[in-house]
Amino acid sequence: MDRRKFIFKAGLAAASIPLLNSFITANESTPLLLQNLTLPKALKKGDSIGVIAPGGAVFNKISLKKCKIKLASVGLNMVAGKTLTTHHGYLSDTDENRAKEIMEMFTNPNIKGIVAMRGGSGCARVLPFLDYDVIKQNCKPFIGMSDITALLTAFYTKAEMTSFHGPVGYSTWTDFTKKYFTETLFNKKETAMLAPAKSDFYTISKGITQGELIGGNLTVFSQLVGTPYLPDMNGKLLFLEDINEEPYRIDRMLMQLKLAGILSQVNGIIIGECRKCDPEEPEKSLSLKQVLQDHLSNLNIPVFYGAKFGHIKDKWTLPIGIKAEMNADIGSLKLLEPAVV
């Protein structure tokens, strides 16, 4: 028996199996399969949402009360996971226990969605311990960003399901953020998203194109190169952002994606607002804009900077694997399919 099967069976025991079987046989509960992509059921007001820390530990306990208020502001009830109150060094718990909690949240029929409390570090460590077949069969919205990129990407690749790059419990849930969170997760319709005129938007390469959305935090996404958790990137719309990374580090990570052939496979690239990515010694460094121009301007695909996702206050909720259209001339992104059923 491999490790992930052991973790799942030991953690959930026999009680999980009847729940899983009833989920599969109930037609009204089975998520829609669209071109091999499983979509979760739409959230609705009054739903219970599991909040967990699949990566870094939560040392600020006041943030838990704030998270409950944030979820309540969009009509959702918070169910706190065990990892919100444990820690294992800089991690919230051991790899096995974090994986076990993720599996429990997916198979619990009373939990209608899952939100990560924070990113931090360590999500990639749990990937080998997850049962992706069971996750797919119990598909539900899973939302997060930053280090959560590892889980979102793995869910798309291994479970063939949509998850959501969006706010975590630590995030500032502004009216803007709540608007796109609810429009994407509560409504079974396409959503148009436009970069506000006052953002730091600029075009790197003009054009309009379409593709399935994939991406997240640049640091985490680039570290999945060469692993079985990175999907086929052909024809995708790649969205990337980062925080607290000097331009030379951004340079290194984009070079990794370029040498791996990823930048030449995608249909378009969307760069989010990268906070605190300026050089400490500008006179000895390329700027972030120069690095982006060097790597992305000659790809013959549309590219723009300044999209509203990542480590910023106002953010979109982006569904992984959903077809979208980007317009690099004006900095817009439009979903072409519903992300929930």
What gap in Å lies between CA 145 and CA 165, rounded to an integer? 5
Q: For the chain, how long is the longest CA-to-CA vector? A: 64
**Known catalytic membership, residue 146:** yes
Q: Are 84 and 51 in contact (CB under 8 A)?
A: yes
Q: In the structure encoding, which two tokens stand for residue 35, read together?
A: 């071109």
Marked catalytic residue, from 16, 92, 146, 332: 146
Q: 66: which residues sit within 8 A by CB, 6+ positions away?
A: 169
Marked catalytic residue, from 16, 163, 222, 311: 311
**Known catalytic membership, residue 311:** yes
Q: Are 124 and 10 in contact (CB under 8 A)?
A: no
Provide the β-strand partners of residue 80: 51
Marked catalytic residue, from 241, 245, 246, 273: 241
3-state secondary structure of 43: coil
Q: Per DSSP, which regions of the chain are E strands?
A: 33-34, 37-38, 48-52, 77-80, 113-116, 142-144, 164-165, 192-194, 202-205, 208-217, 237-241, 268-272, 303-307, 318-319, 323-327, 332-335
**Residues carrying an active site annotation:** 146, 241, 311
